[in-house]
Amino acid sequence: MAKEEVKRTKQKRGTVVTVEEFLSLDRPKGDLLLKVGREQVSVTSLDRIYWPDEKLTKFDLLSYYLHVADYIMPYLQDRPAILQRYPRGIKAPMFFQQDLDSAPEFIKTARLTNQEGRQLDYGVYSTVGSLLHFVTLGTIEQHPWHSTVKRLDKPDWIAIDLDPKRAPWENVLQVALMVKEVADEIGLQVFPKTSGSSGIHLYVPLKPANEYDKVAEFARLFASEVAQRAPKIATVERTIAKRKATQVYVDWMQNARGKSLASVFTARAKPKAPVSMPLTWRQIEQGVKITDFTITNVPELLKKGDPWADFFKSRQSLRI
């Protein structure tokens, strides 16, 4: 039985505001139509609390994404979105949505086949309006594919997640520096960022020349080399019970087709509203902390510069 097309919802009516007018609002309530470029995005329940302890609302989250739109969109553009929806905030149940059943006309979709052979209609990040629509649905965090719809089977970055679990933060920073050491030896440039949750993410920008299985195998070998050089503080052992309390998990397994990590510049559905923030290696050496970056201070911090400004100018080839 053929899958039905995504149902297109009609444009709602209501008060229309510009981005500038929206950002100047003081604790708005209810719903509005936000004009972003050529699109009108229905933004709803603006006073809904998303972070109860910090009293931050959906409006605060939408405002954050508007402030950082120019920074985050290059990492989302033309990529299928894995939606993790928190419609009632971070302390209420979350659910995943990869298959859209309805969407406004301006939301692009891509029909893809998952590992079980099911056809899914993914939403695709295409404009700031599309990002804000997904945020309005409760998508606090942005989880794009590692490839674009133009070259769906060829990722344009490697992503490695340093997951500490019980290991001290200092060990995470040391393993990150070990990743840089190994990358330097083979002539690869690595871009670090906070995960915004508990660890560090390390990205290697690529020319989209190799398919997922080859890129994942390279990531496996790379992670194994890091773990072999620093066995006291690094491991590629998946089973938590088999890891030492000092070991950071060098997770390379998110490089498969259809997998994702939290995007750089994304807000995270964690206490204090942290952001996955791009870093310099100097910051890692100086002992940067995840709590240094939140949706309330990142827009101002970015005025000092973006450590990942040259990310897409640094696409590299893998010798595999």
Q: Is the pTM of the predicted complex or chain greater than 0.95? A: yes
Q: Please say whether the beta carbons of 228 and 205 come within 8 A.
A: no
Q: What's the confidence (pLDDT) of residue 2?
A: 63
DSSP state, residue 314: G
Q: Give the contacts of 42 (CB within 8 A, at least 6 positions apart).
A: 11, 12, 14, 31, 32, 33, 34, 104, 133, 136
Q: What's the confidence (pLDDT) of residue 1?
A: 54
Distance in angstroms (rounded) separating the CA atoms of residues 206 and 312? 8
Q: What angle do CA 42, 44, 48 make, to 5 degrees?
A: 155
Nearest to 304 by CA among 277, 284, 285, 276: 277
Q: Which residue type does 51 have?
A: W
Q: What angle do CA 172, 202, 188 make, to 5 degrees?
A: 120
Helix (H) or strand (E) holding 7: strand 7-9
> Residue-wise pLDDT tens for the chain (320 aa)?
567 889 999 888 889 999 999 999 999 999 999 999 999 999 999 999 999 999 999 999 999 999 999 999 999 999 999 999 999 999 999 999 999 999 999 999 999 987 778 899 999 999 999 999 999 999 999 999 999 999 999 999 999 999 999 999 999 999 999 999 999 999 999 999 999 999 999 999 999 999 999 999 999 999 999 999 999 999 999 999 999 999 999 999 999 999 999 999 999 999 999 999 999 999 999 999 999 999 999 999 999 999 999 999 999 999 87
What domains appear along the chain, each with residue ranges and CATH number?
A: 7-144 (3.90.920.10), 157-314 (3.90.920.10)
Q: What's the confidence (pLDDT) of residue 269?
A: 98
Distance in angstroms (rounded) separating the CA atoms of residues 41 and 220? 41
Structure token digits, residue 179 = 């990743």
Q: Please say whether the beta carbons of 168 and 128 come within 8 A.
A: no
Give Cα 75 distance to the centre of its chain. Answer: 8
What are the backbone angles phi and psi of residue 128, rounded to the nearest 5°? -60, -35
In this structure, the strands spanning 102-104 and 7-9 are parallel
Would you mind telling me the total number of residues written for the chain in this entry? 320
Q: Please say whether the beta carbons of 50 and 89 come within 8 A.
A: yes
Q: Is 234 exposed, middle or buried (0-12, 13-18, 19+ CB in 10 A)?
A: buried
Q: Please say whether the beta carbons of 94 and 269 come within 8 A.
A: yes
Q: Please say whether the beta carbons of 246 and 168 come within 8 A.
A: yes
Distance in angstroms (rounded) separating the CA atoms of residues 210 and 111? 22
Tokens 């709803």: give the residue: 44
Q: What's the confidence (pLDDT) of residue 12?
A: 86
Distance in angstroms (rounded) separating the CA atoms of residues 62 and 34? 11
